[in-house]
């Protein structure tokens, strides 16, 4: 099953603001702490699908006091095992299209980043956590399991045994400690995650699109390949990226003295 074919996307709950080369995608279900029901996950998919080609980086954030409370538990109680399996698979398609899409996605995190909310955040490429952020996987204590790719993506950031601890004991990581173990790359004061994420996205959008594509699609795969395969994949990506006219122009600009230098 691809995504959720019979679901009507709740498009009013996912707003998109295009600002030049970046898009700001906002989860707008604050009364339910941006908990993700079928309509919301389908709307996330559609909003990402519909981004114009002129968008070179995306910021994802949540309205209200929390980024995302995870799966809408109200829907869970109606599913049998087969429906649960297909539902879980449908999240994979949506999050995979974010993770392996055309452009990098920066998540601006605040408040609860829990359950499926953490799974959504870990499908993004950069995470900025403000000081109100807390990370948790309450599935363990609710008698369920992660189902949005968390068991694949979260251990890559923090290690399988930290995730085990979170699910077995209900451990909650506050922002500073969460960032220190790798949940996010940036930690900013409360209320500043969105601005920082926008700054980063604007910087990312200036990169050559092919370099960004090679990074988000190549690096994670290379990390899973045997070294010899990884070297070949890297060399193919390097060849494709450097052949682009934009790459030639950027390198020439540096050699002419007009391109930017690396600053300490």
SS3 call for 110: coil
Residues 6+ apart with CB under 8 A from 228: none
Do the bridges between strand 126-130 and strand 186-188 make them parallel or antiparallel, or are there none, so unpaired? parallel
**Could you tell me the two tokens for 127?**
């995470």
b/e per residue, 3-20, with b = 16+ CB within 10 A? bbeebebbbebbeeeeee
Rounded to a whole number of angstroms, the minimum distance from the CB of residue 152 to ligand 1HE is: 12
Burial of 61 (0-12, 13-18, 19+ CB in 10 A): buried
Radius of gyration of the CA atoms of the chain, in A:
19
Report whether 42 contacts 9 (CB < 8 A): yes
Whose Cβ is closer to ligand 1HE: residue 13's or residue 72's? 72
Out of 13, 53, 139, 234, the active site residue is 139
Query: For 24, phi and psi rounded to 5 degrees?
Result: -110, 115
Whose Cβ is closer to ligand 1HE: residue 147's or residue 218's? 147
Which of the 8 DSSP states describes residue 256? H
Question: Contact residues for ligand 1HE (CB under 6 A)?
Answer: 32-33, 35, 65-66, 69-74, 91, 112, 114-116, 138-139, 142, 146-148
Rounded to a whole number of angstroms, the minimum distance from the CB of residue 245 to ligand 1HE is: 42
Rounded to a whole number of angstroms, the minimum distance from the CB of residue 25 to ligand 1HE is: 18
Rounded to a whole number of angstroms, the minimum distance from the CB of residue 118 to ligand 1HE is: 8
Report whether 115 contacts 151 (CB < 8 A): no
Whose Cβ is closer to ligand 1HE: residue 29's or residue 103's? 29
Rounded to whole angstroms, what are the CA distances from 106 to 85, 88, 96, 243?
28, 23, 15, 27
13 part of the active site: no
192 part of the active site: no
Rounded to a whole number of angstroms, the minimum distance from the CB of residue 247 to ligand 1HE is: 39
Active site residues: 119, 139
């Amino acid at each position: 099953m691809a995504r959720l074919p019979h679901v009507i996307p709740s498009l009013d709950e996912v707003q998109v603001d295009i600002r030049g080369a970046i898009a700001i995608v906002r989860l707008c279900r604050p009364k339910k702490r941006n908990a993700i029901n079928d309509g919301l996950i389908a709307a996330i998919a559609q909003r990402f699908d519909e981004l114009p080609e002129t968008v070179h980086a995306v910021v994802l954030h949540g309205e209200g006091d929390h980024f995302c409370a995870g799966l809408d538990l109200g829907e869970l109680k109606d599913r049998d095992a087969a429906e649960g399996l297909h539902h879980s698979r449908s999240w994979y398609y949506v999050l995979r299209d974010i993770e392996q899409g055309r452009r990098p996605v920066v998540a601006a995190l605040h408040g609860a980043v829990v359950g499926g909310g953490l799974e959504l955040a870990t499908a993004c490429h950069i995470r900025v956590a403000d000081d109100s952020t807390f990370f948790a996987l309450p599935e363990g204590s609710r008698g369920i399991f992660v189902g949005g790719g968390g068991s694949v993506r979260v251990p890559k950031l923090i290690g399988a045994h930290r995730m085990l601890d979170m699910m077995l004991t209900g451990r909650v990581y506050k922002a500073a400690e969460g960032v220190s173990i790798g949940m996010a790359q940036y930690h900013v004061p409360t209320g500043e995650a969105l601005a920082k994420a926008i700054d980063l996205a604007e910087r990312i959008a200036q990169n050559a699109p092919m370099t960004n594509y090679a990074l988000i699609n190549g690096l994670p795969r290379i990390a899973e390949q045997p070294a010899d395969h990884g070297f070949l994949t890297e060399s193919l990506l390097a060849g494709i990226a450097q052949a682009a006219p934009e790459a030639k122009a950027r390198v020439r600009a540096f050699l002419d003295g007009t391109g930017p230098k690396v600053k300490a």
